């Protein structure tokens, strides 16, 4: 489980344990990546960088995705957030429903299609440009 930040024009941040699947394509599409290996380090990195989009796994060490969503929405209420979960103590649907209630704009249940995620990333970034 890792935290990953992508930067480019636009910039975005990611936290996930399926990083190789997700970032293989975005890296070739002009996104730069900043990484951290847990939620706490991820938030530290987030606070030091301008970020336009957040992708977070829900179950992570040090600080879980639900905590990340709560903190981010206090700091930047309009930041788009994509939450991802394969479950944990609960089924993934339970985590993702909570993430939506707390402010995640989009959710994905693992496993998911990388192309679907990329379409969602572009959609979320387009929304903040307009």
CATH code at 102? 3.40.50.2300
What does the DSSP assignment read for the chain? Answer: -EEEEEESSS-EEEEES-HHHHHTTGGGGT-EEEEESSHHHHHHHHHTS--S-EEEESS-SSS-HHHHHHHHHHH-TT--EEEEE--SSS-HHHHHHHHHHHT-SEEEESS--HHHHHHHHHHHHHHHH-
pTM summary value: 0.81
Q: Determine the average pLDDT of the residues in 115-128.
A: 82
What pLDDT does residue 112 have?
A: 85
pLDDT category at 30 given cuts 50, 70, 90 is low
Which residue has better confidence, 19 or 128? 128
Of the listed ranges 21-35, 37-51, 61-75, the least confidently predicted one is: 21-35
Range of the domain at 8: 2-129
Domain total of the chain: 1
State the pLDDT confidence band at 5, using cuts at 50, 70 and 90. very low
């Amino acid at each position: 489980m890792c935290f990953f930040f992508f930067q480019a024009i636009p910039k975005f941040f990611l936290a996930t344990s399926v990083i190789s699947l997700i970032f293989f394509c975005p890296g070739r599409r002009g996104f730069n990546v900043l990484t951290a290996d847990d939620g706490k380090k991820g938030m530290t990195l987030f606070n030091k960088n301008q970020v336009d989009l957040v992708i977070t796994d829900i179950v992570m060490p040090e600080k879980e995705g639900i905590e990340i969503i709560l903190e981010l929405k206090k700091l930047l209420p309009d930041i788009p957030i994509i939450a991802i979960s394969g479950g944990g103590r609960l089924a993934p649907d339970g985590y993702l429903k909570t993430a939506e209630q707390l402010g995640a704009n989009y959710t994905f249940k693992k496993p998911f299609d990388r192309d679907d995620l990329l379409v969602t990333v572009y959609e979320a970034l387009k929304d903040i440009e307009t």
